[in-house]
């Protein structure tokens, strides 16, 4: 993908899938503004790695559930580069627990970050993209949003909501040259899955037809495709990158 001269805003870019997305977009030539919640050391490392690829990368601390923080994030991109071509809504959290014992605060926290955060960022970026009459939005959902998962009613609800947000926004924005798509990762080899007990990991692998966990770079490749010109006639779609789990 050639994204030279494009500006991308990526949420949750300090580690894991978010960092891989930043690096893949940087390899394709895009300048970046990415946000992080609290991992400043990780954010600086992401920025340094992107810079070594020959692009500018600006880290911004941001709570995506806070409208003022989101406004500041988008203003940083516009002040630095004058436009926003690509938005990747990747920021997300988990607060796992069974339905009957889940605290309301844990349900709300996950919905606020994963779904409300995506809504706020999309709304803010869309204003600029509509003026430009072009833009690419890629929302990171999850296989859990497609099929559910015991112990994750909050996370599943938030990621299913992201799919609904994607399809509705795609219909609203298509006439302005803006595409809105989603990538739904399966279980990916990140810090979150590294802490699983070996028994849980073995059971997990048994549910994946491909027989392995995905790599963050495999999600980033899908995001880069949606961000590029080859995907200009694709909108409102959900691409599961999950080794066959959602079949």
Give 166's contacts (C-beta < 8 A, 6+ positions apart). 137, 139, 141, 180, 181, 182, 236, 238
- Asked if residue 146 is part of any domain, the answer here is yes
116-120, 147-151, 190-194, 201-205, range with greatest mean pLDDT:
116-120
Pairing state of beta strands 86-89 and 7-10? parallel
pTM here? 0.95
The single residue of 155, 173, 223, 226 carrying the catalytic annotation is: 155
In order of 70, 102, 119, 210, the CA distances from 87 in angstroms are: 12, 32, 12, 30
Q: How far is CA 169 from the centre of its chain?
A: 16
Give 8's contacts (C-beta < 8 A, 6+ positions apart). 25, 30, 31, 32, 33, 85, 86, 87, 88, 227
Number of domains within the chain? 1
Looking up residue 152, the CATH number of its domain turns out to be 3.40.50.720
Give me the DSSP letters along 150-215.
Answer: TTBHHHHHHHHHHHHHHHHHHHHHGGGTEEEEEEEE-SBSSHHHHTS-HHHHHHHHHT-TTSS-B-
Residue 72: pLDDT band with limits 50, 70, 90: very high
- Asked if residue 247 is part of any domain, the answer here is no
- Asked if residue 67 is part of any domain, the answer here is yes
Whether residue 155 lies in the annotated active site = yes
Residue 191: pLDDT band with limits 50, 70, 90: confident
pLDDT at 197 over 90: no
Q: In what order do the strands lie in the sheet with 31-36?
A: 57-61, 31-36, 7-10, 86-89, 135-140, 178-185, 238-241
In order of 6, 48, 123, 137, 187, the CA distances from 149 in angstroms are: 37, 36, 29, 26, 12
Determine the structural domain holding residue 14 and report its residue range. Answer: 7-240
pLDDT one-digit tens code per residue, 90-135: 999 999 999 999 999 999 999 999 999 999 999 999 999 999 999 9
pLDDT one-digit tens code per residue, 226-238: 999 999 999 999 9
User: Phi/psi of residue 237, each to 5°?
Assistant: -105, 155
pLDDT at 2 over 90: yes
pLDDT at 33 over 90: yes
- Asked if residue 101 is part of any domain, the answer here is yes
């Amino acid at each position: 993908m050639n994204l030279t001269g494009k500006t991308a805003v990526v949420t949750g870019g300090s580690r894991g899938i978010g960092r891989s997305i930043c690096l893949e977009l940087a390899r394709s030539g895009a300048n970046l503004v990415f946000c992080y919640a609290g991992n400043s050391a990780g954010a600086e490392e992401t920025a340094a790695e992107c810079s070594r690829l020959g692009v500018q990368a600006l880290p911004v601390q941001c709570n995506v559930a806070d409208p003022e923080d989101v406004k500041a994030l988008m203003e940083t991109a516009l002040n630095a580069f004058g436009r926003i071509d690509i938005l990747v809504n990747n920021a997300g959290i988990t607060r796992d627990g069974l339905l009957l014992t889940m605290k309301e605060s844990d349900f709300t926290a996950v919905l606020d970050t994963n779904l409300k955060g995506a809504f706020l960022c999309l709304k803010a970026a869309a204003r600029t993209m509509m003026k430009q009459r072009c833009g690419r939005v890629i929302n990171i959902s999850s296989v859990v949003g497609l099929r559910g998962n015991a112990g994750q009613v909050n996370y599943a609800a938030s990621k299913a909501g992201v799919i609904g947000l994607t399809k509705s926004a795609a219909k609203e924005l298509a006439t302005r040259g803006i595409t809105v798509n989603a990538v739904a990762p399966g279980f990916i080899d990140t810090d979150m899955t590294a802490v699983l007990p070996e028994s849980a990991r073995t059971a997990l692998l048994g549910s994946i037809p491909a027989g392995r966990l995905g790599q963050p770079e495999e999600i980033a490749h899908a995001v880069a495709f949606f961000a590029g010109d080859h995907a200009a006639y694709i909108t409102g779609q959900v691409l599961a990158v999950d080794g066959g789990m959602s079949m």
